[in-house]
Structure 1
Amino acid sequence: MSFSVDDAALDGSSLRIWLWEESARLGFDDLRITDTHLGEASERLQEWLAEGRHGQMEYMQRHAHIRSDPRHLVPGTVRVICVAMNYLPPEIDLDKEWDRLEDPTQAVVSMYARGRDYHKVLRNRLQEFAKSIEKKIGAFGYRVFTDSAPLMEVELARKAGLGWRGKHTLLLNTASGSTFFLGEILVDVSLPMDEPQDEHCGTCQACIDICPTQAITAPYQLDARRCISYLTIENPGPIPVEFRRGMGNRVYGCDDCQLICPWNKFAKRSELPDFASRHGLSDADLLQLWSWTEPEFERRHEGSAIRRIGFSRWRRNLAVAMGNALASPKLESAEKLLMHQALVAALPSADTLVAEHIRWALSNSSI
C-alpha cells in the first residue's frame, strides 16, 4: 500500500529538496521523479521486438511484458526515483579518442567500461540512498536497479526530466551530454513528480551519419544487430563478416555517436576513482591485449563490466581489430609482421569461434 509524503510529517517540497541534497552527497549528479506510466513507449518496444532488432538478446523478448510497466516488476510501485551519475574520468580527452580510432595499433574500449563495473558502483550507492530515505520518512517499499532488470530506464529517465532522447536513442541533457549512468529506485511513496525536458537535437543528425555500421537506421531508431556495442558485447557468436570492417579497432563497445554529439562538449568529469581507467585501457594496443592469457584476462578485468563477455569473445573482438590493422596502409611493416606472427601462433589452440576470426584476420595480411 502506498502512502503520501504527508504521512512522513514532511511537505512534498521539503522532502524533494532533501532527496536532491542527499543524492548529491552520495555522488549522484541529478535526481528526478516520475510515475510508472510509459504510454507509447511500451508500444514502440513491442514493434522493435517484432522487427527482430534486438538480435540475440532473448531476455528483451522474454521479459517484454514486465518491461512495459514497472508495477509488473515491483507490485505496489507508484513512483520511480531516477538518478544520473557522470562517468567520464578526467584523463580522457575526447579529441584524442578520434586519434586513437585512426591508429590501427590501438585497441579501443568504450569509455564507460574502462573503470570499475558501474552496476556495482551505482547499486551500492542506490541501496545506501534508499536506507537514508527510510531513516528520513520511515519504512517504505522499494527496490533499486541500474541496467540490471527488465525496466525501460531510459524512457523513465526521459519522462522524469533527466534529459531527452537523442536521435541515437541515448539520453542527453544540456549539462552533461550523454556521458552518465542511470539508476532507479522503485518506491511505493507518492512523491512529487518532475516534468520532462524539451528536446534540443534540432536538425542535427551527426550521430546518424557517423555510425560505422549504419546501426541508427533513422532518427530515434536503432537496429541492435548492426550496432558495434551489441556485436562486441551481447552477440555470443561470430561477428557478421559485413560488419567486421566497420568495427575498425573497437574491441569493446563503440562511442562514435557520443564523440560526435555537440552536446558532449559539455560532458562533466567524474572525480570518482571507480571510473578511472584501469590497466592502461585508455591507451592499450592490440598486441598488448592479445598477449593476455585467460587467467590474466580474468584477473585484470576483475570488478569490470568487460569480464562478463568472457575470454573467447574478447579474443574474437581483438582478432577482428587485428585483421583490420593488417589491412590498413597505416600499419608499419614491422608491426604488421608482429601481428601476423601473433595470430598464427594462437591459431592451433584457439576455440572454434576465435579460430574463424583469426583466419579472417590473416586473410587480410600481405605477408
Structure 2
Amino acid sequence: MTDSEKDLIRTAASALGFEACRFASASEPWSAGERLAHFVEAGRHGEMGWMETTLERRAHPTAMWDGARTAIVLGLNYGPKTDPLPEMADRGAGYISVYARGDDYHEVIKGRLKTLAGQIAARTSQEVKVFVDTAPLMEKPLAQRAGLGWQGKHTNLLSRDHGSWLFLGVILTAAELEPDPPEGDHCGTCTACLDACPTAAFPAPFQLDARRCLSYLTIEFAGPWPTEFRAATGSRIYGCDDCLAVCPWNKFAAAARDARLQARDALVSPRLADLAALDDAAFRALFSKSPVKRIGRDRFVRNVLYAIGNSGDVGLIPVAERLLDDPAPVVRGAAVWALSRLVGVEGFAELRLSRLTQERDEAVRSEWST
C-alpha cells in the first residue's frame, strides 16, 4: 500500500481518538523474544506463570499468527493533569496508579481497535487481528520498531510526545504495509527512573525483576508479601508510578483528552479508613469499570493494610483491629502486620491479650444469661 493509504489509516485512527498510529514489520526477526526468554529463565516473572506457558507464542508476532506481515501500533494518551507523586505525602490516603484511576483501558481501546481493524480489512481485503496487552503479544518492542517511542531503562515505553503516559493497542494484518522508521534510545546518561524505585527492582538498566516491583506485588502477587517490601510500599495500594512519573520526558506530556481515562475523584487520594471498610459488594461498586476490580477485595484490602501499617497514624488502629477477624487469611495476616507497626510488638501482644480477655468475659456473660 502507498503512503497515502497509510495516511487514510492514520486519519481514521485519529478520528477514533488515538494520538499515535505507526507501522512496523510483524515478520522480520528481532531479539525481543530472546530477552523475554532470559527474563523467564531467571525467574524474574515471579508468580506470573502465564508468561512461561505462553513464552513460545510471545517470542515473535508470527509465532502467534504466522500470517502476520504488518503491525499497526496505536497509542492513547492517559496523562495525569498534575504530577501524581506528591500525593504520597498524605499517609492517610492510598495511592492508586494513574492508569487505573479511570475506566479500564482494555475496554476503552478494544472497541476502537475493532472499528479501525474493520475499516482496514475492508480497504485491504486482508485478514486482521486485534490485540490489547492481555494477549500474548510483545507490544512495547513493536511500538519501538514502529517509532512510537523507545523502551527506557525502566523497560517501559517512553515517547517524546507523550512522556510515560501512553496506552498501546496493536492491529496485526496480513497486508504488506511500508514500515515507519524505528525510534532510537533517548535516555542518555539519565538514571532518574532507576534511582526512584523504592524496592530496587532494576538489577541493571533495561532490566526488571518483577518479584521486587510494587506494581507486581500489589496486583499480581496473591499471598502475603515478603516482609522486606511491606514498608517500602508506603501508601501505594495499586500499582506504582515512581519510575514513570520522574522521567524528564514528561515535560512534553499532556493530560488525557478522553474523559473515560481521566481520574475519578473517588480514586485520587482515597482515605485508607474508608477503603479498609470495604466488603466485596462495596469494593465492586467503587471500582466498577475499573481495572482495580480484577484483583478482588481481599488482595486490595491486604494492600490497604500494608499502607495503614506505614501511615504512622494511631487513629487507624481500630480500623486495622476490626480486620483481625476478617474471613480472608491474607487480610488477617496483613492486619497483624499493620497493628504491629502502629503499636509495636509488645503493644500488639497486649492488644491480643485484651481481646482474648474480652472474648472470654463475653462468653461467660452469654453462658450466665442462658
* TM-score, normalised by the number of residues in structure 2: 0.90
Q: After superposition, where does 1:215-230 map in structure 2 within 5 Å?
A: 215-230=201-216
Say whether 1:363 aligns with 2:350: no
Query: CA offsets, 1:250-306, max 9 Å, x none?
Result: 000000011111011211222211112225111312112122221011122121111
- Report the secondary structure of 1:190's partner residue: coil
- Letter of the structure 1 residue corresponding to residue 226 of structure 2: P
- The aligned counterpart of 2:42 is 51
State the partner residue of 1:166: 152
* Whole-Å separation in 1 of the counterparts to 2:49 and 2:22: 31
State whether structure 2 residue 53 is matched by structure 1 residue 62: yes
* Residue of structure 2 equivalent to 1:346: 323
Return the alpha-carbon distance in structure 1 between the equivalents of residues 66 and 164 of structure 2.
31
Tell me the distance in 2 between the aligned counterparts of 1:40 and 1:98: 34
What's the counterpart of residue 136 of structure 1? 123
Task: Letter of the 1:287 partner, please give it.
Answer: A
Distance in 2 of aligned mates of 1:199 and 1:180? 17
Conservation of the 8 A alpha-carbon contact between 1:232 and 1:252: yes
Residue 22, structure 1, aligned to residue 12, structure 2: yes
Does the 8 A contact of 2:237 with 2:304 survive in 1? yes
The residue identity in structure 2 corresponding to 1:30 is A
Distance of 1:349 and 1:361 partners within structure 2? 14
2:63 corresponds to: 72
Q: 1:93 aligns with which of 67, 79, 82?
A: 82
Structure 2 CA distance for aligned equivalents of residues 135 and 98 of structure 1: 45
Task: Rate the CA distance shift 1:38–1:229 in 2: closer, same or farther, 3 A.
Answer: farther
Q: Give the AA of the match of 2:325.
A: P
Q: Which range moves more in the overlay, 186-195 or 274-283?
A: 274-283
Distance 1:98 1:315 in 2: 22
Check conservation: 2:164, 2:245, Cα contact below 8 A.
no
Contact 2:323-2:331 within 8 A present in 1 as well: no
Partner Cα separation in structure 1 for residue 160 and residue 238 of structure 2: 27
Q: Please, what TM-score do these two structures have when normalized by structure 1?
A: 0.91
Contact 1:108/1:249 (CA < 8 Å) preserved in 2? Answer: yes
The CA RMSD measured in Å over matched residues stands at: 1.3
CA distance in 1 between partners of 2:301 and 2:334 (Å)? 9
Mean alpha-carbon deviation: is it higher for 73-82 or for 107-116? 73-82
For structure 1, the residue ranges without an aligned partner over 5 or more in a row are: 6-11
Alignment partner of 2:93: what SS? coil
* C-alpha distance in 2 between matches for 1:41 and 1:98: 31
* SS of residue paired to 1:365: helix
8 A Cα contact 1:167 1:207, kept in partner: yes
The answer to whether the Cα contact below 8 Å between 2:131 and 2:171 also exists between their aligned partners in 1 is: yes
Give the letter aligned to residue 19 of structure 1.
Answer: I
By how many angstroms is 1:181 displaced? 0.2
Report the secondary structure of 2:341's partner residue. coil
Distance 1:227 1:38, change over 3 A: farther
Q: By how many angstroms is 1:86 displaced?
A: 0.1
DSSP 3-state at the match of 2:267: coil
Larger helix proportion of the pair: 2
Residues in 2 aligned to 1:194 and 1:244: alpha-carbon distance in whole angstroms? 44
CA gap 1:38/1:270 in 2 versus in 1, 3 angstroms = farther
Deviation string, structure 1 residues 286-335 (Cα, Å, up to 9, x no partner)? 11212222101112212111111011100110010001113xxxx4xxxx
Mapping for residues 239-318 of structure 1, pairs under 5 Å: 239-278=225-264, 280-318=266-304
Give deviations 1:63-109, integer Å, cap 9, x for gaps: 100001212222311111111110125xx310xx2321122111000
Match of 2:100 in 1: 113
Structure number with bigger Rg: 2
Inter-partner Cα distance in structure 1 for 2:249 and 2:182? 18
Native 8 Å contact 1:144 1:185 kept in 2: yes
Q: Which amino acid aligns with 2:195?
A: D
CA distance in 2, matches of 1:251, 1:28: 29
Q: Which residue of 2 aligns with 1:157?
A: 143
The letter for the 2-side match of 1:98 is L
Distance in 1 (CA, whole Å) between partners of 2:222 and 2:277 is 22
1:117 partner letter: D
Structure 2 counterpart of 1:35: 25
1:141, 1:58 → 2: CA distance?
31
Q: Distance in 2 between matches of 1:30 and 1:246?
A: 35
| 1:196 match: secondary structure | coil
